[in-house]
């Protein structure tokens, strides 16, 4: 549902969980800590880096209150040309806000967004409009039935950007629309149909055609397949994989579904309550996560062979987890749900390169990244605690 992905930015929805402690953090100046990028030594961008986000922070005013809700805090990530980066996190973790901030749809209050070396977060007025018209960053939404105008034919929607920018004659634009449709594996005749007249998978292809028509450098896909069933889902993922090779676009795919990302992404960025807790090569991260939250996510994913329920239960705190509202100022974002939290976790852990990845292609923000697993191996399986039902 589009609802779910929009809750990230919805004030009412974040207010019940995030308000207090996030407001506290912003007041106490924790965010003023010096920013340390993920293994970045301040040198020039490595070859091929397309998008580089540094120290990105976004906060929203709370309705009726003076407090601000911090939705993203010190977020860093990079996407190379031709690379697919998965962004995973739960409802309210800031995934959608991150994509919107990268695209310039939400104004960040801190940090930088560099696209091909240019700081696009700082663009204002005419420069920003010009940047948008070029269409270097394109968005693909979850629900194409809602992101395509139901009253416009598919072709008109796809060519709308070109028409607004006034590029080419009508006939040239029609030809580019047909090209874009072919790029995404649709019959150009689909251009004459309304969104309601084609299937869900075809609609998502049409919205990808709308995105690629302007020859973008970066595609931001917000839950691109979660409205589709398994077969159509794989069709769309294959298409994204093909486009990154053919057009060498960088692609950021936001998803709450690990298996969607496992299918196509090269790297994964794990967000928890507005902070990046882990960032690394996806196959290795999923095989042996370094952050307890990533481990919990993976252990919670249902498995056709029957998930080991103890695996997830062993990663949850003993007894009931603490109320998130009780989070102390400056504490690690995950501490309230972490089985391995200690006194050290009262301080936000810095992102550090994983010990065997000194190059910085795998970073983790956990004080106990190297040790929590030892504790896990010795911990007994928790006994199922169940309360009585009223009879």
Partner 1 sequence: MPESAAGPAEVLLKVDGLRITVGGERTEAVRGVSFEVRRGEAVGIVGESGSGKTLACRSVLGVLAPGCAVSGGTIDFDGTSLVGLPRRGWEQLRGTRIAAVFQDPASYLNPSYPVGHQLAEQLRVKHGRARRDARADAVRLLAAMGLHDPERVYRQYPHQLSGGMLQRVVLAIAVSGDPELLIADEATTALDVTIQAEVLELLAGLRAERGLAVIAVSHDLAVIAEFCDRVLVFYAGELVEAGPTQAVLHAPRHPYTEALLRVASVGSWERRSLAVIDGQPPHVGAELPGCRFADRCAFATQQCRTRPVALTEQPDGRSVRCRRVDELALSGAGAATAAGAAS
Task: Point out which residues bind partner 1 (CB under 8 A).
Answer: 1, 4, 12-13, 16-17, 90-92, 199-200, 229-231, 233-235, 237-238, 241, 256-260, 262-264, 283, 286-287, 296-307, 309, 312-313, 320-321, 323, 384, 386-390
Shortest distance (Å) from residue 357 CB to partner 1: 18
Report the residue number, 306 or 380, with the smaller CB distance to partner 1. Answer: 306
Looking at the Cβ atoms of 17 and 156, the one nearer to partner 1 is: 17
Q: Half-sphere exposure (CA, 13 Å, Cβ side) for 99?
A: 30
By beta-carbon proximity to partner 1, the closer residue of 35 and 334 is: 334
119 vs 308 by CB, closer to partner 1 = 308
User: Up-side HSE of residue 243: CA atoms within 13 Å toward CB?
Assistant: 29
Which has the closest alpha carbon to 79: 213, 219, 189, 214? 219
Q: What's the CA gap between 346 and 325, in Å, rounded?
A: 15
Q: Which long-range contacts (CB under 8 A, 24 or more apart) does 286-293 make?
A: 286/258, 286/262, 290/354, 290/362, 290/364, 290/366, 290/369, 290/370, 291/334, 291/364, 291/365, 291/366, 291/369, 292/334, 292/338, 292/339, 292/340, 292/366, 292/368, 292/372, 293/334, 293/337, 293/338
Residue 123 C-beta: closest distance to partner 1, Å:
34
Q: Are 338 and 296 in contact (CB under 8 A)?
A: no
Q: CB of 346: closest distance to partner 1 in angstroms?
A: 21
Task: Look at strands 275-281 and 363-364 and give their pairing.
Answer: antiparallel
Residue with smaller CB distance to partner 1, 248 or 300: 300
Which one, 19 or 214, has the nearer CB to partner 1? 19
Angle at 52 between CA 48 and CA 58, to 5 degrees: 165
How many CB atoms lie under 10 A from the CB of residue 127? 12
Tokens 């690629």 sit on residue = 212
Nearest residue (CB) to partner 1, 126 versus 386: 386
The length of the chain is: 391
Q: What is the nearest approach in angstroms of partner 1 to the Cβ of residue 384? A: 7
- The 137-140 sheet, strands edge to edge: 137-140, 218-222, 250-255, 84-88, 267-272, 275-281, 363-364, 352-353
Which residue, 312 or 346, is less far from partner 1 as judged by CB? Answer: 312
For the sheet with 118-119, list strands across it.
68-80, 49-61, 110-115, 118-119
Minimum CB distance to partner 1, residue 254 (Å): 13
Closest distance between partner 1 and the C-beta of residue 170, in Å? 33
- Minimum CB distance to partner 1 smaller for 2 or for 248: 2
Residue 124 C-beta: closest distance to partner 1, Å: 35
Q: To the nearest whole angstrom, how small is the minimum distance from the Cβ of residue 241 to partner 1?
A: 7
Shortest Cβ 200–partner 1 spacing (Å): 8
């Amino acid at each position: 549902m589009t609802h779910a992905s929009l809750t990230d930015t919805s004030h009412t929805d974040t207010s019940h969980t995030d308000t207090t402690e996030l407001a506290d953090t912003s007041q106490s100046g924790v965010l003023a800590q010096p920013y340390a990028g993920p293994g970045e030594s301040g040198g020039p961008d490595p070859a091929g880096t397309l998008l580089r986000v540094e120290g990105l922070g976004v906060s929203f005013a709370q309705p009726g209150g003076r407090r601000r809700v911090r939705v993203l805090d010190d977020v860093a990530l990079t996407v190379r040309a031709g690379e697919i980066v998965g962004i995973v996190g739960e409802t309210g973790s800031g995934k959608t806000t991150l994509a919107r901030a990268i695209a310039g749809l939400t104004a960040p209050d801190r940090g930088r967004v560099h696209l091909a070396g240019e700081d696009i977060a700082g663009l204002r007025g005419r420069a920003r409009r010009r940047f948008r018209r070029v269409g270097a960053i394109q968005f693909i939404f979850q629900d194409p039935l809602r992101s395509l105008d139901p009253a416009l034919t598919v072709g008109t929607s796809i060519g709308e950007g070109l028409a607004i920018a006034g590029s080419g004659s009508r006939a040239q634009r029609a030809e580019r629309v047909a090209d874009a449709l072919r790029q995404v594996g649709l019959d150009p005749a689909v251009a004459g149909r309304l969104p309601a007249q084609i299937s869900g998978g075809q609609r998502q292809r049409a919205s990808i055609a709308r995105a690629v028509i302007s020859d973008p450098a970066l595609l931001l896909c917000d839950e691109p397949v979660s409205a589709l069933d398994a077969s159509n889902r794989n069709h769309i993922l294959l298409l994204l994989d093909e486009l990154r090779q053919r057009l060498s676009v960088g692609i950021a795919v936001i998803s709450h579904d690990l298996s969607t990302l496992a299918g196509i992404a090269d790297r994964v960025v794990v967000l928890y309550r507005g902070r990046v807790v882990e960032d690394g090569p996806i196959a290795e991260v999923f095989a042996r996560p370094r952050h307890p939250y990533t481990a919990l996510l993976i252990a919670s994913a249902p498995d056709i062979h029957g998930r080991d329920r103890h695996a997830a239960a062993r990663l949850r705190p003993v007894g009931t987890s603490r109320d998130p509202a009780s989070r102390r100022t400056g504490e690690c974002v995950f501490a309230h749900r972490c089985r391995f939290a200690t006194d050290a976790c009262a301080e936000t852990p810095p992102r550090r390169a994983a010990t065997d990845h000194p190059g910085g292609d795998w970073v983790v923000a956990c004080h106990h990244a190297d040790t929590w697993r030892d504790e896990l191996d010795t911990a007994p399986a928790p006994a199922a605690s169940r309360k009585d039902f009223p009879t």
